[in-house]
Chain A
Amino acid sequence: MTTHQARPLSRANAEKVLTGTASPRSELAHIIAAARGPADSDELAGEAAAMIRFQAARLEPAAAHAPTVPKRMSDKLLAAKLGIAAALAAAATGGVALAAAAHTQTEPAHHATPASTPVAAPSHDGTPTPKATTTTAPPPSHAAAASAAPPAPAGGAGSHPSASHVSASHVSASPSPALRGLCIVYFAIGGADGKVIDNPAFRTLVTAAGGKGNITAYCKTLLRADPYPTGPARSHPVGPPIFRPRETPPGHRRSGSPNVPPGGAQADQP
């Protein structure tokens, strides 16, 4: 205990703390500043895997435009593939985190404009107007995260090869979680049959496995042997789960409802 008393927090000061404009002299401001501190490279360990998902989505427009008009692969087939991947991953990790993958697929696309954004002129379909009015700012940390992203200084060069290169170099920086992510994606896209495997972003995995033909075996071993890596990506000393998931949280509607309103965020009505 302490006798050290802080002045009661005013609403106005709370707003300043939340937006990072408060004086850094209070404990509270310190805590919040730490919570929004600069990005750590561990936090970006999933970058290569995310890039592959991004590229895979581009190759499989059917998936991107769910739930209607499957083009290259039926939704069912894709869902089945994802289901297999999820089952595999779940089996491998003994966890459930990835089980969501299967039904994620069945969820309608969130064509969400979380309506905070008074979208300037979405006149043409799907292409947001870049000059949309922006009335709020990210906290400074976001700017830092965006520009001073730790792992790959070669970042914003703009050409595809450089982007892939960036991913690859990042992978080598923290191999275990990144390779694990690549393996999960590898299974999710149906293995080496997919043309995505030729993507440079997979190069690290191909190299680590010792060739395309070995990836399946390599990944199975990796996921089995290292279900919860204690490597960098897991090292956030965040402690055990905080919330007791004893009940379905109020306000969470079963995902998969076809009635997600245009402002998809509102699917969470209490």
Chain B
Amino acid sequence: MSPARHAAGDLDTPLTRAVAAAQRGDDAAFTQVYRAVQPGLLRYLTVLVGADAEDVASETWAQVCRDLSGFQGDGDGFRAWTATIGRHRAMDYLRARTRRPVAVTTLDELMALPARDDTAGLALESLSTAAALRLIAALPRDQAEAVMLRAVVGLDANAAGRVLGKRAGAVRTAAYRGLRRLAEQNTGILIDGSSDTSRPFDAETVR
């Protein structure tokens, strides 16, 4: 609960209001809610299920719309609620998918995707959202989920814990480990060398 985060809390008020208005049947408010929530939700689901996240998100919204009148809470609560529903739908999806053969992807294969051929290293300058999600998705799942719920969906540790059925402390630890691993795996690939260490950037160390 950093001061900055707290101070920025007002930003969520429009979502709180929009959710309330959508519950009263306001189309424009629903559009606003959708646009505020969908990107983070879809990215979280992408980390969970991969390319079919779009379909899972669609199922999630179907349920959100159906149950919207019963929702109680503010904008943050709504994000957590949709994430919970999305997670259930994603788990259903993953369960169903076990009946089909699934290509196993190794970390190396993942890292070997695009970007490799056009640069010597990975230019974090221009790191796309999708590439960043891929890096996060390569983390152990509990860590990936904790990072996504907190950093991208925008939940605090308590709310993320409720989505995951864990204590806030466990979420903090998982997110912390995830970030640390992410940092370790990607150290030194910043092309312009502006990392947070005091060492000068050495081009030869970049693959």
Chain B 70-94, CB within 8 Å of chain A: the 1/0 string? Answer: 1111111101110011011101111
* Chain B, 33-76, CB within 8 A of any chain A CB: 34-36, 38-40, 42-43, 46-59, 61-63, 65-76
A58 close to B12 (CB less than 8 A): no
Interface Cβ pair total, 8 Å cutoff: 482
Contacts of A61 in B (CB 8 A): 69
**Chain B interface residue number, banded:** 35 or more
A173 at interface by CB-CB < 8 Å: no
Is A233 a contact of B91 with CB atoms below 8 Å? Answer: no
Instruction: Across the interface, name the chain B residue whose C-beta is closest to A118.
Output: B74
**Would you list which residues of chain A between 87 and 137 have a CB under 8 Å from chain B?**
93, 95-101, 103-104, 107, 109-117, 119-120, 122, 126-128, 130, 132-137
Q: Residue among B34, B42, B129, B188 with the most chain A CB within 10 A? A: B129
Q: Which residue of A lies closest to B95 (CB)?
A: A248
B187 contacts the other chain (CB 8 A)? yes
**A204 interface residue, CB < 8 Å from B?**
no
Cβ of B67: which chain A residues have Cβ within 8 Å of it? 64, 66, 109-111
Known contacts being A26-B195, A100-B96, is A160 close to B136, with CB within 8 Å? no
User: Contact check: which of A1, A119, A137, A140 meets B77 at CB < 8 Å?
Assistant: A119
**Listed residue (A1, A15, A263) with the most chain B CB atoms within 10 angstroms of its CB:** A15
Q: Name 22 interchain pairs, CB-CB below 8 A, sorted by A.
A: A6-B197, A11-B176, A14-B179, A14-B180, A15-B2, A46-B58, A100-B56, A112-B84, A114-B84, A128-B16, A128-B20, A132-B77, A137-B11, A139-B152, A234-B51, A237-B131, A238-B134, A239-B110, A241-B97, A242-B137, A244-B102, A251-B164
Identify the A interface with B (CB < 8 A).
1-9, 11, 14-21, 23, 25-28, 30-32, 34-37, 39-40, 43-47, 49-51, 53-58, 61, 63-66, 93, 95-101, 103-104, 107, 109-117, 119-120, 122, 126-128, 130, 132-143, 145-147, 149, 155-160, 162-164, 166-167, 177, 181, 184, 188, 233-234, 236-246, 248-249, 251-252, 255, 263-270
